[in-house]
Amino acid sequence: AGFDVSRLMVGAMGTLGLLLDISLKVLPRPERELTLQFDADQREAVQRLNAWAGKPYPISASCHEGRSLIVRVSGAAAGVEAVARQLGGTPVDEAAKLWQSIREHQADFFAGPEPLWRLSVKSTAPALPLPGRQLIEWNGALRWAKTDADGALVRDVARKAGGHATLFRSTTRDVAVFHPLPQPLVALHRRLKKTFDPAGILNRGRLYPELDSPDTGA
């Protein structure tokens, strides 16, 4: 949220300008938090998460990997307890450490040398047909995939699921980090880059190398 210019800075990775003065909106910590665990495969997890998203449940985080679906409910104590009774599941001990391990990529899933992909897709997208392990966050809208599959295949799967794929971690540089842009978007990005960074000195090549090239399109 915010003004259009400041919104452009989000995700630009310093290619459009420098952030010298930042204002943060803070919210009070919830009175009560409870993390619940359920047994569910990926298909069941996506279905449950989307069904719960359509209800007034104060779910503040979710994660699925293997056959484990966990959700965090946050809010007033009475409301959290009421929702917990409706959802069922098993309370998770030391939940704060669990969520921190997921947020900081310290969980077992994120260990190992395999390429790690970050796929932003529609929350309702079914299980992604990729080899390897997957972890789901954001009610199904964020999928992490540890896979040796070809980059073109991963990106095609993401596209068919209504999103895009970013190569978050890899031991080689054979595959581009970011999802390829269609030519109209490349031209738009170039114009933005030229407007905000006419000298072309801000983080050259950080996003797409072609953005540092002259715009030859219309």
Q: What is the pLDDT of residue 137?
A: 98
Beta carbons within 10 angstroms of residue 170's beta carbon:
15
Nearest residue to 101 (alpha-carbon basis) of 70, 80, 73: 70
> pTM of the predicted model, to two decimals?
0.88
pLDDT in tens, the chain (218 residues): 556 788 888 889 999 999 888 888 999 999 999 999 999 999 999 999 999 999 999 999 999 999 999 999 999 999 999 999 999 999 999 999 999 999 999 999 999 999 999 999 999 999 999 999 999 999 999 999 999 999 999 999 999 999 999 999 998 888 899 999 889 998 999 999 999 999 989 998 888 888 876 654 44
Cβ neighbours for 170, distance < 8 A, ≥ 6 positions apart: 115, 116
> From CA 111, how far away is CA 126, in angstroms rounded?
25
